[in-house]
Amino acid sequence: MFSTILTYEENVSKPVVFIQSLLHAREWVTLSATLYGIRKLVEDGSEVDILQDIDWIILPIANPDGYVFTHAESRFWRKNRANNFAGLCAGVDLNRNFDVHWGQASSGISCMETFHGPRAFSEPETQAIRNIMLEHSDRLELFLDIHSFGSMILFGYGNGVLPPNGLTLNLVAVQMAQAIDAVKADFNRDYIVGNVAHVLYDASGSAMDYAKVAGAPLAYTYELPGMRFGVGALGFLVDPDFIEQAGMETWEGIKVGARHVRNTF
């Protein structure tokens, strides 16, 4: 019987890049994209610089109970499965539960898709993500929260106020989007870059905004493309032929962000 013990020595001189996906349960293609990136990073051997010079923290399934529920019961479930608060309905929108402007642009009604929970950080999932961010806050340089859909790279804050480094946030996001748009393939979408409240809608208590106040200079919400011509919930489905491309082009964008961090840290 063999056992392999992998020891990992944290090198505190390296920047941290933290990537998560599936905070929203129904956004399945985001998991494929994250797994594609992990594989490229560790098996491909072509990205030696960012593999060696960055500490990667990757959380592929940030909302595990919700994800199981989308397989077992309801394909378009968004929230987690919490049901321990007064009210008829289960589930907290984890991307409204972080302690940053909590409760300002979200719902206090448990049956709503954007229910922010009974209090900030009421949920074990958001507590775990917060703890990762705080543990590494001194060198957390890039946080990517991968969602779908919309073909967007968004930055904060969710109330429309730009952080002091707003120009840098915009510049790096544009470079990431250009790398994605440079991929010539069957399902091309034009990516939009901007402040989330300006291009999408106001939202409080997001993981992205919390990463920013926890100290990450660069924090983005990636909205991967949905099904072509898909509207409403259909956007959370993608053509199976697109899944591999989604991983590949998302990884092109992530690499640009990671190299920016590597070269400027």
Distance CA 228, CA 23 (A): 23
3-state class of 166 per DSSP? Answer: helix
The residue from 15, 24, 32, 257 that contacts ligand 0X9 (CB under 6 A) is: 24
Write the CB contacts of 219 (distance below 8 Å, at least 6 apart in sequence): 142, 143, 144, 145, 155, 156, 169, 208, 209, 211, 212
Q: Using the rule CB under 6 A, which residue among 203, 216, 218, 254 binds ligand 0X9? A: 203
- 150: number of CA atoms within 13 Å, CB side? 16
Q: Which is nearer to ligand 0X9, 92 or 203 (CB)?
A: 203
123, 125, 141, 223: the catalytic one is 223
CA distances from 105 to 154, 189, 254 (A): 17, 29, 28
Residues 95-114 that bind ligand 0X9 (CB under 6 A): 95
State the amino acid at position 201 in one-letter form: Y
- With binding defined as CB under 6 A, does residue 196 bind ligand 0X9? yes
* Nearest distance from C-beta of residue 227 to Zn ion, angstroms: 15
Cβ contact 157:197 at 8 Å: yes
List the interface residues with Zn ion, window 144-173 (CB under 5 A): 147
Catalytic-residue membership of 10 = no
Query: What's the closest the beta carbon of residue 196 comes to ligand 0X9, in angstroms?
Result: 4
- Taking CB under 6 A as the rule, which mask of x and - marks residues 142-171 in contact with ligand 0X9? -----x------x-x-x-------------
Select the binding partner of residue 196 from Zn ion, ligand 0X9, none (C-beta < 5 to 8 A, by kind). Answer: ligand 0X9
Backbone angle region of 200, left / alpha / beta, with phi > 0 → left and psi within -120 to 50 → alpha: alpha
Binding mask 7-36 for Zn ion (x = CB under 5 A): -----------------x------------
CA dist., res. 262 & res. 264, Å (int): 6
- Give residue 169's identity as a one-letter amino acid code: L
Which lies closer to ligand 0X9 via its Cβ, residue 185 or residue 233? 233
For residue 69, the minimal CB distance to ligand 0X9 (Å) is 16
Instruction: State yes or no: residue 96 binds Zn ion (CB under 5 A).
Output: no
Instruction: State the number of binding residues for Zn ion (CB under 5 A).
Output: 2
The residues that bridge with 144 in the sheet, in sequence order, are 19, 220
| Window 218 to 247, contacts with ligand 0X9 (CB under 6 A) | 221, 223
CA distance 167 to 45: 33
Determine the angle formed by the axes of helices 166-181 and 243-264, rounding to 10 degrees.
140
Q: Which stretch binds ligand 0X9 (CB under 6 A): 42-50, 173-181, 201-209, 254-262?
A: 201-209
What does DSSP say about strands 55-59 and 16-21: parallel, antiparallel, or unpaired?
Answer: parallel
**Active-site annotation, residues:** 223
- Which residues are near Zn ion by CB under 5 A? 24, 147
- Which residues are near ligand 0X9 by CB under 6 A? 24, 27, 95, 147, 154, 156, 158, 196, 203, 206, 208-209, 221, 223
